[in-house]
Every structure is written in C-alpha cells, then in structure tokens.
A and B are shown apart, each in its own frame.
Chain A
C-alpha cells in the first residue's frame, strides 16, 4: 500500500476537518502568491521606468558618480564617441545591447527673467532618437502605453521642464500645466539678476525671440572653463517627473544644445554613455565585459561602470521593503498553517489511537507510523498548495482583466493594476514547496507522539 494512497484515504475520512484545514492553506497560498505577484509587478514596473530613463549600465568618469553633481563638466568623457564605437562593435557585448547613447548632465540656473524669477536646475542633454528607442524596452511585457519622449520632434533649442520648474518660473499658464496654481503676485525678495548675466541673456536672444510670446527660459551654466554661459531656450512642455525633488529641478534638452552650453567651441563631451540591454539578466555578463574593455581598449580614460541599481538607490530600497513585507507575511501565514495542520493531525492521532496500536502490533515500525502521519500532513500541504496556486492564478487573471489602475511610485500616469502570478515559476514553486514543508513539519510532532505510543495502551484506547 503506497503511503500517499493510504494518507489520502485517511484524509478523506473526516472530510469536513480536512476541508477546513485545506481552506486555511489555500487562503494562505493565495495571499502569498497575490501579494508576491503584486510586488513582483511593482519591481518590474520600477525597473522598467529606470531602464527607460537611465539604461541598465552607464559608463562614466570614475569619479563622476560621487563628485560629478557638483561640477558635471569637469567629469566628462572626452572621447565618448570612441567609447560608443568600441562598445557597440564589441563581439561579446553587441548581442546584448539595445541602445548605446551619450548623455550630458549639467547644473545651472534657469530664469524667466521677464517674470523676474529663477531657480537652480539640473539639465540633462539627450539624443532624442535614442531615448525614444529606450522607452520601447518592455522586457516584462508590462501593459503600459509607449509614448515618445517629450522632446521628440522639437528644434535644437527646445527644452522640457519638470512641472515644479514650470511652477517656480511661472510658466504654468503658458505651458497649460494642469493643477498648477500660480500666485497672484510674486514678491521677489532677492536682488535682480546681475547686470552681466542680464546682458548675457539679452545677447543670447535673437531679435525674433525678443518679441515672441512663446514661453522661454534662460539657462545659465558654468562652461568647462568656469566662465558663465547662457542659452535662451524654448520651453515646449512641462512634464511631471514623478518625484517632487526631481520635478522641481528637471530640465531636459537636446544633447547638442547642452554640449554647446558647456563646451562652446571646444570638443564636446558627455558625462555618461548609457547602455540599455535587451534583458536585465545580462547585466553581470555585460558589466564584466565592459570592465575588461575599460581595462584594455579604453584604458586611456579613467572610466567606471555603474548599474541602474547603484544609480537609482530608491529601486533597491523599494525592492527590499517589499521583500521584507513579503517575508513577514509568509512567516505569519506559515505560522497559521503550522498550527492549523498540527491541530488537525493531533486530532487524527487521538481518533486513530487504536488503529495506531493495531498497526504497531502487526509489525509496523515507529518510523512507519511517523511516515504515515507526516505523509498525511505533506499531502494536505500539497493539495492546499495546488488548490491555492490554481485559485491565485484565477484571481490574478480576474484582477488583471478588471481594468483597475494605480499610480506606481515615481510615475505620473495611472497604469493598469496587475498581479503577476502566471509565469513566475520560482515564486510559485517556492510557495508550494514552502507550504508542503510547513505542513509536513506541522504533522511531524503529532506523528512522533503517535509513533511513541505504548502499543498495549493504544490497543486499549476507547
């Protein structure tokens, strides 16, 4: 007699009790899987957002990550085009790459001098065509709408600003920014722009710009030699950047424009070469190869490789937070399952005391009795896990097709609320193995008690 067959028959003896225990386990499995699927989706959503914006890996000056924000121009990559060529044509890297593109970050002051307001900003110069390719990356098949980046189709002197920048520079009305209330009167408590800056700004404008009514800003930045340089730029759009801290300082501009502002007639540089891979799982291999190249072919410049998790610490923090919540939930559910199964098996042992005595009398070893009850617990766990996975998949399907939306952290537009259970083989297998193991473990103590029964006492049990 197969122990599992015997265990199944014994479980069917008291169907109501077995069913109650199963329901507890199914609820536990569904909770774990749905929350796991939800947090997995958040992870993938966050990762996709960061990979759209900053790629999987970036090649930077070796000190740029720690010191570059103070003076980005001082940490530029002089021969960035050579770096791009080497990386793009490398036989090992090429199959893993989707996009290789330069970016240039700069710090400066954006002013709407007509309104007498200005603020410090961080500008990012990008190659729009490449950025548009980057936002098409969807390794996890998330249900989001691919939109071209805001700078698409704009002239060289166009910029896109964060809504926070638009608000401070009093551009909300001109840019038709929703939910952006402007104060009636701005009390400027600082001095006017210095005369030389104002003169530079005036020089940067063409006669047409001076009379145009389209929103403009003057972007002042220190060039590579430390001298101030100003560009008068057309503001095409204000785009919420998700995080207020970033939204309040963001200015996006064309790479060529940013390079002109920082390097003037000097050879242009970039602060990073962004690499977007076809698959996130390729990061370790790509990184290893890049480090080889930096140590050999590209050793003339002091460069380093950073991955998106290092560049975006919030990603790791969010993942860790969800992992901690998931672990805590799994622990609680595991404890509930443990006590439920243990209680069920304890009752079964009491009810079947005479049977245990009979089995021992006819020659079943103590280990056989233990195996019998542990098998029952494990089988209960297995049935509960299978039913739980099936129900979780069904509920996930319902949720994914319900049309519910939410705004993930760091994003602006609502995205469909989805729960990713189907395809998450490791998570499903982990939940199943965990549930079966907890159920078997729960049965072990009652099984041990059953195995240690005195045969004569067990046979006398009424």
Chain B
C-alpha cells in the first residue's frame, strides 16, 4: 500500500479582507497501515490538513498524493470517485444520514463504489457484527446513543474497504468512557483490517494510541513522531 505524501502544501483562507494561512509549506508522509494522529491546538491547521488528505479541499500550492494518485489535476467527479473507493470518513458529529437505517447508512458508500448487492449485504452484516450493532441494523440513527452512532460511522467508513480512514476529532462529542471504547474499536479495526487511520485530535488518549504522531502549529509541521518502527508496521 502506498503512503500519503504532501509536498510543499500551502493553503490560505480569505476571511473578508484578512488572509489566514492555514497550512504553510507542509511536507509530510503518512505511512500506510498505521494509526496516525495529527495533533495540535485549535486553529493550528489539523482539520485543513485532514481535508487535504481526504481530497475534499485543494491546496493553493503544493501536491497531495494519496494511494499513488496525485490529486492536483483530477476533476471534481474523478475526486468523488476516488474518495468513494479509497477514503473512509468519520466525523466529529457522526454525520449519519437520518433517513437511512443503520444498515443503509453502512451500505451507502458501497453503492457509490458500485459494490455488488450480495457483497454489500455480507460486508454490512460483518461490519455491524464487528462494531457490536448487529441487532440495531434496522434502527434509525435517531434511535441510537452517541457512542452507537459513532460505531455506525466507523462501520460506514470501513464499508467500501478503503485505503485510508480519516477521522476528524472522532471522540470530541463523546464522554470519556465512550470515547475510550471508540478509540479501542478503531485501533482494533485498523489492525484487523490493515487500514491506515488518520486522526485529527488533541485527545491524549487518541494520541497515546498512535503509531505516528504529527504535531502541527500555525499551519506548520512541528514534529513527526514515528512511535512504531517500520519493521513492526504490516507491509
């Protein structure tokens, strides 16, 4: 599996008459099959960096290469298709579709990735079993607790068998106990399925579970800690 590579990536937001640099000349390589946490204070550029990696935002300068694919010249449709096949998202507010059942929420990204119906069903059932929500398949998100919703979101992110799962502060809206169980679940799923997880978080528990920790401040990478040696990372 290919790493995520950012080369001299810069992004500036224009708020009224003020230019706010969110990322400045960021060079970063995120190892595949790792549990990577991007950490830093509020406004440091964590979410912007995650958006660049997730191909939902484009840099003003620099290149982003994900799963061997340079994002620079891809059309909007091509980026959408790429996200559907290669990237799973877990959001802070879960962002489940309220009109779809748990089963359908997990199934939806596979529809976009054109996974055959039988395989979709099988994968959904396996994933719901894995996150402990097999008995809630026909419930609507509104009938679940916050922790359960985030479990559904994890299952949804993993459903199309992506190369990377990106999670923007996934435990921020959960109590500490639930947050911890969610981190354990994600770590477990990451190892079991050998998927790269990239988080933005300033939760110390998330940080503690990371293979790699990327420290960011004022849009610049301060430090990259490789806590797990390359030799221990599955190829």
B190 interface residue (CB < 8 Å to A): no
| Interface residue ranges of A349-385 to B (CB < 8 Å) | 354-355, 357-368
| A451 → chain B closest CB, angstroms | 10
CB pair A365–B81 under 8 Å, yes or no, is yes
Contacts of A365 in B (CB 8 A): 76-77, 80-81
CB pair B100–A362 under 8 Å, yes or no, is no
**What 1/0 flags go to A1-44 for Cβ under 8 Å of B?**
10000100110110000000000000000000000000000000
CB pair B99–A363 under 8 Å, yes or no, is no
CB pair A459–B112 under 8 Å, yes or no, is no
A311 interface residue (CB < 8 Å to B): no
CB pair A13–B56 under 8 Å, yes or no, is no
- Interface magnitude class on chain A: 20 to 34
A456 interface residue (CB < 8 Å to B): yes
CB pair A362–B57 under 8 Å, yes or no, is no
| A90 → chain B closest CB, angstroms | 64
A455 interface residue (CB < 8 Å to B): yes
CB pair B80–A364 under 8 Å, yes or no, is yes
B95 interface residue (CB < 8 Å to A): yes
Among A1, A12, A354, contact of B100 (Cβ-Cβ < 8 Å)? A1
Additional pairs, 11, CB under 8 Å, beyond known A363-B81, A363-B109, A364-B112: A6-B100, A13-B99, A354-B93, A358-B91, A362-B89, A362-B109, A363-B84, A365-B81, A366-B76, A455-B57, A456-B51
In the bound complex, CA of A6 to CA of B99 (Å):
8
Among A13, A358, A359, A363, contact of B85 (Cβ-Cβ < 8 Å)? A363
| Interface residue ranges of B168-220 to A (CB < 8 Å) | none
| B204 → chain A closest CB, angstroms | 25
Contacts of A354 in B (CB 8 A): 93, 95
B131 interface residue (CB < 8 Å to A): no
CB pair B56–A363 under 8 Å, yes or no, is no
CB pair B57–A363 under 8 Å, yes or no, is no
**What 1/0 flags go to B75-119 for Cβ under 8 Å of A?**
011001111110111010101011110001001110111000000
How many pairs of A and B residues are in contact by the CB < 8 Å rule? 69
User: A361-B83, A361-B89, A455-B57 given as contacts; is B77 within 8 A of A366 (CB)?
Assistant: yes
Q: Which 8 residue pairs are nearest across A and B when measured between Cβ atoms?
A: A363-B84, A9-B99, A358-B95, A363-B112, A455-B56, A363-B83, A365-B80, A362-B109
CB pair B108–A1 under 8 Å, yes or no, is yes
In the bound complex, CA of A398 to CA of B213 (Å):
76
User: Could you write out 28 A-B pairs with CB less than 8 Å apart?
Assistant: A1-B100, A1-B111, A6-B100, A9-B99, A10-B99, A354-B95, A358-B95, A358-B97, A359-B97, A360-B56, A360-B80, A361-B54, A361-B56, A361-B83, A362-B83, A363-B82, A363-B84, A363-B85, A363-B109, A363-B160, A364-B112, A365-B76, A366-B76, A366-B77, A366-B80, A455-B56, A455-B57, A459-B56
In the bound complex, CA of A390 to CA of B126 (Å):
46
Contacts of B112 in A (CB 8 A): 362-364, 368
Q: Main SS of chain A's interface residues?
A: helix
CB pair A459–B91 under 8 Å, yes or no, is yes
In the bound complex, CA of A426 to CA of B99 (Å):
37
Measured CB to CB, the nearest residue on chain B to A457 is B57
Contacts of A355 in B (CB 8 A): 95, 97-98
Contacts of A1 in B (CB 8 A): 100, 104, 107-108, 111
| A154 → chain B closest CB, angstroms | 77
Contacts of B160 in A (CB 8 A): 363
CB pair B84–A362 under 8 Å, yes or no, is yes
In the bound complex, CA of A456 to CA of B13 (Å):
12
Contacts of B113 in A (CB 8 A): 363
User: A362-B109, A366-B77 given as contacts; is B91 within 8 A of A13 (CB)?
Assistant: no
Contacts of A6 in B (CB 8 A): 99-100
In the bound complex, CA of A9 to CA of B91 (Å):
23
Contacts of B89 in A (CB 8 A): 358, 361-362
In the bound complex, CA of A271 to CA of B109 (Å):
80
| Interface residue ranges of A102-132 to B (CB < 8 Å) | none
In the bound complex, CA of A367 to CA of B112 (Å):
12
Contacts of B84 in A (CB 8 A): 362-364
In the bound complex, CA of A363 to CA of B82 (Å):
7
Contacts of A9 in B (CB 8 A): 99-100
| B166 → chain A closest CB, angstroms | 9
Measured CB to CB, the nearest residue on chain A to B82 is A363
Measured CB to CB, the nearest residue on chain A to B99 is A9
Contacts of A368 in B (CB 8 A): 112
| Interface residue ranges of A56-102 to B (CB < 8 Å) | none
In the bound complex, CA of A122 to CA of B76 (Å):
79
In the bound complex, CA of A365 to CA of B54 (Å):
15
Q: Which of B56, B80, B97 has the most A CB atoms < 10 Å from its CB?
A: B80
